[in-house]
Amino acid sequence: MPELDPSVQSLARSMFKDFYAKHPVTIDNLTKREFGFGTFEKKIAKRHMAFNNMESLNRYIAANIPAFVSSSPAFYENPSGRPMEAKGWLGSELVFDLDATDLHLECQKKHGTSWVCKNCLHEVKMEAFKLIEEFLIPDFGFSNKDIKINFSGNRGYHIIISSESVLGLDESARSAISDYVTGHGLKPESFFPTIADKTARLQGPKPNDPGWGGKMARAIVTALNAGVPSLEALGISKPMARKMYLNKGSIVMGITTGNWDKVSIPKKDEFWRNVSESMTIKQSDSIDSNVTKNPQHLLGMADTIHGGTGLIAKSVESVSSFERFDPMRDCIAFEKGETLVVANTKETLTMRGTDYGPYENKRIVLPNYVAMYMLLKGVAKLP
Ligand SMILES: [Zn+2]
């Protein structure tokens, strides 16, 4: 987080205060959750907090105006207990934390990882759709109504499952789920038993096989039908993609019966790694930040303000309305008023359909939500 001038912090706190006065927070299972609060320097400066009712949580927020409000996806008998073991774990929601930085996008090489452009937001939304439509619904059997989507307030989304069936999963089951969606430990030889034997017929998965095998077979068939660019998107080189496309009929026919001999690929290991890589969900690898694996992790609470952007970490109404969801339009907290700032950024910020910037040390009056976003991102100062 950029170091913030005290004057920026106090302006932010006064705006946050007005927001919370009009928008009290609410959350299910309040008394079973642990809460954490952050400053502009530290996302979670204080944790192990618990509240008996919504009023006392809202009173705490109004009195302290934290820069970040977090809550546990875990439920406890005694959420304020310390150490963690004293809390009496009752269960945890299953959470997937998707962040644009984990996607290693080309645009990030240009604008850096602290900035978030339209492409970052688009790509991370596609990643969320992929998780929901390629994994959570077909492979795990969840339905749209089991799946909650929250904008994180900055660069991504939290996908949360709260159904009874997941609450009791232990850490090893959560690890296995994380490994499955990230493709961790996926081995081509488990789908292609004869891959190492150059003389044998290449046996492989069929499109209607369950799990990863079927996923890979369907991906190749779909891409073959769509054309060369779709094959390239699976990590296949252009000359190879062209060759495959020319033989599309016989390749598709073969794959349908599990015969992959027609897919003549020189470096099979690399090919499968690329194909599976393009289909996995990109989550942070480090155990500490892999929220799916770690049920003790605190998560930015829905419908509170993110202290790094001034945006609302808003819950998306439903999976079906997610397509239309635009954080830069739907998560605005400071609707009214304007602020004079000195803006300095090479990037363009688009909020509510209007482009702001690039600016070179420009004194400019901006809507409060734009000014606050730039001040908190460190690309504007107060004069
Ligand atoms: Zn970007």
pLDDT digits (tens, 9 = 90+) for 95-134: 999 999 999 999 999 999 999 999 999 999 999 999 999 9
Place of tokens 């997610």: 322
Tell me if 296 is assigned to some domain: yes
Q: Is residue 222 part of a domain?
A: yes
**Residue 194 sits in the same domain as residue 122:** no
Give the domain-ending residue among 295, 313, 333.
333
Region 250-261: mean pLDDT is 90
Q: How many beta carbons lie within 10 A of that of residue 268, not counting itself? A: 18
Ligand 1 centre to CA of 111 (Å) is 7
- Asked whether residue 260 is assigned to any structural domain, the reply reads yes
C-alpha 133 – ligand 1 centre gap (Å): 24
Tell me, in angstroms, the distance from the centre of ligand 1 to residue 202's CA: 40
pLDDT surpasses 80 at 1: no
Residue 44 pLDDT greater than 60, yes or no:
yes
Of the chain, the percentage scoring pLDDT greater than 70 comes to 98
Is residue 371 one of the residues assigned to a domain? Answer: yes
Same-domain pairing of 303 and 233: no
Domain that holds residue 164: 6-179+285-333
129-166 pLDDT per residue, tens = 999 999 999 999 999 999 999 999 999 999 999 999 99
pLDDT at 293: 79
Q: How far is the CA of 313 from the centre of ligand 1 (A)?
A: 19
Q: How many Cα neighbours within 13 Å face the side chain of 42?
A: 6
144 and 247, same domain (yes or no): no
> By three-state DSSP, how is residue 299 classified?
strand
Task: Indicate the range of 126-135, 176-185, 259-268 predicted with least confidence.
Answer: 259-268
Amino acid 196: pLDDT? 79
Both 243 and 301 in one domain: the answer is no
Range of weakest confidence among 50-54, 139-143, 230-234, 320-324: 230-234
Q: Which uninterrupted H or E stretch holds 286? A: none
* Residues, beta carbon < 5 Å, ion ligand 1: 107, 117, 119-120
Q: With bands split at pLDDT 50, 70 and 90, how would you rate the model's confidence at 266?
A: low
Q: Are 362 and 344 in contact (CB under 8 A)?
A: yes
Last residue of a domain, one of 279, 295, 316: 279
pLDDT above 60 (res 287)? no
CA dihedral 69, 105, 1, 308 (to 10 degrees): -40
pLDDT tens for 330-374 read 999 999 999 999 999 999 999 999 999 999 999 999 999 999 999
For residues 98 and 126, membership in a common domain is answered with yes
Residues 316 and 380 in one domain: no
Domains contained in the chain, number: 3
Q: Tell whether 1 is covered by a domain.
A: no
For residues 47 and 60, membership in a common domain is answered with yes
Instruction: Flag whether 346 is in a domain.
Output: yes
CATH number at residue 347: 3.40.5
Statement to judge: residues 350 and 311 lie in one domain: no
pLDDT score at 334: 98
* pLDDT band per the 50, 70, 90 thresholds, residue 294: confident
Supply the CATH number for residue 131's domain.
3.90.920.10
- Is residue 232 located within the same domain as residue 361? no
370 CA from centroid of ligand 1 (Å): 18
User: Given this model, what pLDDT does residue 264 score?
Assistant: 65
Q: How far is the CA of 149 from the centre of ligand 1 (A)?
A: 21
* Distance (Å) from CA 103 to ligand 1 centroid: 10
Whether 47 and 156 map to the same domain: the answer is yes
Confidence at residue 235, expressed as pLDDT on a 0 to 100 scale: 78
CA dihedral for 300, 306, 307, 308, sign (positive or negative): positive
Q: Are strands 156-161 and 147-151 parallel, antiparallel or unpaired?
A: antiparallel
CA distance 341 to 350: 17
Separation of 119 CA from ligand 1 center, angstroms?
5
Q: What was the pLDDT predicted at 198?
A: 76
| Same structural domain, 20 and 129 | yes
Distance 117 CA to ligand 1 centre (A): 4
- According to DSSP, the residues that pair with 359 across neighbouring strands are 345
Distances (CA, A) of 234 to 126, 270, 276, 300, 337: 15, 12, 8, 33, 47
Q: What is the DSSP letter of 3?
A: P
Pairing of strands 349-351, 354-356: antiparallel
Q: Per the domain annotation, does 48 fall within a domain? A: yes
160 Cα–ligand 1 center, Å: 24
CA-based max dimension of the chain? 73
Instruction: Identify the residue with better confidence: 290 or 175.
Output: 175
67 and 171 both lie in a single domain: yes
Say what the pTM is: 0.92
Contact 51, 30 (CB under 8 A): yes
